[in-house]
Amino acid sequence: MARVVVDVMLKPEILDPQGQAVQRALPRLGFEGIADVRQGKRFELEVEGPVDDAALARIHEIAETFLANTVIEDFSVKVEVGEGADTSAVKAGS
C-alpha cells in the first residue's frame, strides 16, 4: 500500500486566528525569532494498488470536494514512498 498525503492550508490572504495565537504564545514560552505561524490540516490516505495518474486524479478530486474548502484553503497532494521519504508535491489546488 502507498500513502498519499494531502496538506490543506488557509490561503495567505485569509486570517488565521489559531496561527496568530500560537505566534503570540511562543515568546512567552521562551521561543524567539518566529515571524509567523500558519495552522493547517494533514490527511494521510492509504491507497490500495498503484498510485498512478488515475489514482492521483481521484485523490485530487477528493481533496477539492471534501477535504478542503477551496474558497479559503489551498491544498497539495504528495506521494510518500518508503519510510519517511516523499516525493515533491504532485498536484496543488487553489
pLDDT band at 85 (very low <50, low <70, confident <90, very high): very low
- The letter for the amino acid at 79 is V
Buried b (16+ CB within 10 A) or exposed e, 9-28: bbeeeeebeebeebbeeeee
pLDDT value of position 1: 86
How much is the pTM?
0.82
Range of the domain at 13: 1-78
Kindly tell me if the per-residue pLDDT of 14 is higher than 90. Answer: yes
- 46, HSE (Cβ side, Cα atoms, 13 Å): 1
CATH of the domain at 11: 3.30.1280.10
CA distance 65 to 69: 8
Closest CA to 91 of 65, 50, 49, 63: 63
Q: Domain count of the chain?
A: 1
Phi, psi of 19 (to 5 degrees): -65, -40
Report if residue 53 sits inside a domain: yes
Distance separating alpha carbons of residues 44 and 76, to the nearest angstrom: 12
For residue 88, being part of any structural domain is answered with: no
